[in-house]
Amino acid sequence: MTDTHTANEQAQQLVAAAGQLFTAGVMSHSGHANLSARLDGERFLLTPGFVRGLRPEQLATVGLDGRVLAGELRSVSAEIIAMHSAVYRARPQVGAIIHTHSPAATAFAVAHRALPCRTEPMLRFGQAEDVPVVPWGPRGSDVSVRGIAEVLERRPTTAAVLLANHGLLVFGPDSAATAHLLVAIEESAEAELAAVAIGGAVDFPDGALEAVRASIARVSS
């Protein structure tokens, strides 16, 4: 498979993931988001500052060193190159990253409250633990990026973080899987907030993750 073919395929998948977020209704009123997909050890595709109606040819190719190698980025997206780069450096297995201001998840970020893992979709789509909070720093700043890197080091198995007073950052093996997890996290945040009215959410019983994995394995075999 050629590099061009791989890049085109990744671009198509990233655009499809952006569309999936709008279809699922997990976007903020503004529709703000930025998505990226790793091309190799040094480069990734990045959305240009908007994602509604996104087309593959609008994606920019960016280096982990911060250089824009192809395409164009608005200043609003150029600010977040370092945020995406930090995750790719910390997690070599990560193939895609999505950042949104999804309302319910952002409520937890604004409250500086970790989002508990209390819904089965979170277990199934890769976040079998609480979503931790990264301390606030101006978007794309050294403070913010360093905070993300430090939380990822402390929490080596988390696939998402809440950015304090800002929003949600989710990462996974590819664009589709990352979008699925983001939707699961937003739905879980909505359920967590709604459960307060009827006495509060309750943790899974011991062994829940193993039981879910066994169930998935039976269907897959």
pLDDT in the model for residue 2: 46
List domains and CATH numbers for the chain.
Answer: 3-220 (3.40.225.10)
pLDDT tens-digit series, residues 5-59: 688 999 999 999 999 999 999 999 999 999 999 999 999 999 987 788 999 999 9
Binning pLDDT at 50, 70 and 90, where does residue 220 land? low
Percentage of the chain beyond pLDDT 70 is: 97
pLDDT tens-digit series, residues 43-102: 999 998 778 899 999 999 999 999 999 998 877 777 799 999 999 999 999 999 999 999
pLDDT in the model for residue 79: 79
What pTM was computed for the model? Answer: 0.93
Q: Which helix (H) or strand (E) holds 199?
A: none
Nearest-10 Cα torsion for 167, 160, 97, 214: -140
pLDDT in the model for residue 213: 79
Q: 208: exposed, middle or buried (C-beta count within 10 Å: 0-12, 13-18, 19+)?
A: middle
C-beta of residue 123 within 8 angstroms of C-beta of residue 111: no
pLDDT tens-digit series, residues 104-156: 999 999 999 999 999 999 988 989 999 999 999 988 889 999 999 999 999 99
Residue 43 and residue 38: Cα distance in Å, rounded? 6
Q: What is the largest CA-CA distance in the chain?
A: 55
